[in-house]
Amino acid sequence: MVSMLAQEIPWHWIILVVVLLGLFLILILVGQMFGIWIQALFAGAKVSLRELIGMKLRKVDPRLIVLAKIQAVRAGLDITTTALESHYLAGGRVRNVVIALIAASRANIPLDFRLATAIDLAGRDVLDAVQTSVNPKVIDCPNPASGKNSIDAVAKDGIQLKARARVTVRTNINQLVGGATEETIIARVGEGIVTSIGSAGTYKEVLENPDGISKRVLAKGLDAGTAFEIRSIDIADVDVGENVGAKLQADQAEADKRRFQAEAEKRRAMAMAREQEMQALIRENRAKVVLAEAEIPKAIAEAFKKGNLGIMDYYKLRNVQADTQMRESISGQGQPPNSDKETQG
């Protein structure tokens, strides 16, 4: 069916229809770009229709590029359309960069298009950087968003001080790419304040001259390697906190007390163990004495059998033993009643 229609319709009619469709599409595209081109023409921004159509085909927003070009031309900046389009394709914020360049030009801040696009592609807000360079901003130290309200430090006398500082900074455009951020400034200033308070002899020195802290901190060059230049450091508030030194001494005394108590308990336990050992040794020796005394009658009987001991000698021995026991009971040197019971047991 299609082949039959193709044979019936002449080829020149098919070519004419294709040409007319192409011209129609071109006219539509030119019509869309015509208003933007007229706007650029009257503004003095040289942008051709061919460039606008090329932007459309490359999926670039022609209106955004033309408006940025017009702003640059009106401000006396020489920025090519190709440069703007390239930055757009790289994912940059074209209008933001152009506005930042205009602000830098008005403030006599050296900033070219290449550096501005590099800052923008690095994720930094180049317009905010220029504004901060013109109008320095104040950074609270510590940052209230971190949840801390003060920087705590302890002087040599053990008194804690709570300080708050306000740091005035301006942007260093040349260090913005690769330079440290506000968090680094806050950390360095906090470290300097802690060091300055810690080196003070007493807390009264800090309260009498808080300006000395800011001078010592500012003299350390804390803005090295950062994207900012510190203009001033002002101590906003200094409050007296706890007596940390006394608290630490009390804690140390309590720890020493517990250590000495533990050592005394150890010595007491050792003494009690030694006492038990000695009592066991005494019982053992008494048992040996009882065993030895039990052998005495056997020895006497053996002496009688062998004729080594006479009956008179035996009675003399018994008299001596009785006399000795009597003397011991009178003088109180005899064995206590409980020891006798233990011996009998």
How high is the pLDDT of residue 17? 63
| Domain co-membership, 85 together with 159 | no
How high is the pLDDT of residue 14? 62
| Domain co-membership, 190 together with 118 | no
How high is the pLDDT of residue 2? 43
Mean pLDDT, residues 199-207: 84
If you average pLDDT over each of 176-190, 217-231, 266-280, 324-338, which comes out highest? 266-280
In a domain, 48, yes or no: yes
In a domain, 50, yes or no: yes
How high is the pLDDT of residue 345? 37
Nearest to 182 by CA among 194, 168, 196, 195: 168
Say whether pLDDT at 339 is over 50: no
Say whether pLDDT at 253 is over 70: yes
How high is the pLDDT of residue 1? 46
Helix (H) or strand (E) holding 67: helix 62-74
Say whether pLDDT at 11 is over 80: no
**Would you tell me how many other CB atoms lie within 10 Å of the CB of residue 193?**
28
**Would you tell me how many other CB atoms lie within 10 Å of the CB of residue 243?**
16
Tell me if 202 sits within 8 A of 157, measured CB to CB: yes
| Domain co-membership, 9 together with 113 | yes
Nearest to 167 by CA among 136, 198, 196: 136
| Domain co-membership, 173 together with 107 | no
Nearest to 94 by CA among 71, 128, 78: 71
| pLDDT tens digits along 59-91 | 888 888 888 888 888 888 888 888 888 998 888
Locate 152 and state its tokens: 């705590």
| Domain co-membership, 114 together with 149 | no
- Partners of 160 in beta bridges: 154
Residue after which a domain boundary falls, among 247, 272, 299: 247
In a domain, 330, yes or no: yes
How high is the pLDDT of residue 31? 56
| Domain co-membership, 114 together with 146 | no
φ, ψ of residue 171 to 5 degrees: the values are -70, 135
How high is the pLDDT of residue 251? 82
| Domain co-membership, 167 together with 102 | no
Residue after which a domain boundary falls, among 206, 223, 247: 247
| Domain co-membership, 232 together with 317 | no
| Domain co-membership, 236 together with 320 | no
| pLDDT tens digits along 24-36 | 566 555 556 667 7
Which one is predicted more confidently, 216 or 317?
Answer: 216
| Domain co-membership, 24 together with 47 | yes
Residue after which a domain boundary falls, among 70, 91, 124: 124
| pLDDT tens digits along 88-129 | 888 889 899 999 999 888 888 888 889 899 988 888 888 888
In the DSSP assignment, the letter for residue 210 is T
| Domain co-membership, 189 together with 98 | no
Separation between Cα atoms, residue 210 and residue 193, nearest integer Å: 10
- Domain residues for the domain of 177 are 137-247
Quick one: what percent of the chain has pLDDT higher than 90?
2
| Domain co-membership, 13 together with 107 | yes
In a domain, 259, yes or no: no
How high is the pLDDT of residue 49? 73
How high is the pLDDT of residue 44? 74
Q: First vs last Cα of the chain: how many Å apart?
A: 137
φ, ψ of residue 137 to 5 degrees: the values are -110, 165
In a domain, 171, yes or no: yes
Say whether pLDDT at 343 is over 70: no
In a domain, 177, yes or no: yes
| pLDDT tens digits along 136-187 | 888 888 888 878 888 888 888 888 888 888 899 888 888 887 788 888 888 8
Q: Residue 199 belongs to a domain with what CATH number?
A: 3.30.479.30
Q: Chain-wide mean pLDDT for the chain?
A: 80
What is the total count of domains within the chain?
A: 3
Say whether pLDDT at 54 is over 50: yes
In a domain, 281, yes or no: no
How high is the pLDDT of residue 26? 62
Mean pLDDT, residues 315-335: 74
In a domain, 90, yes or no: yes
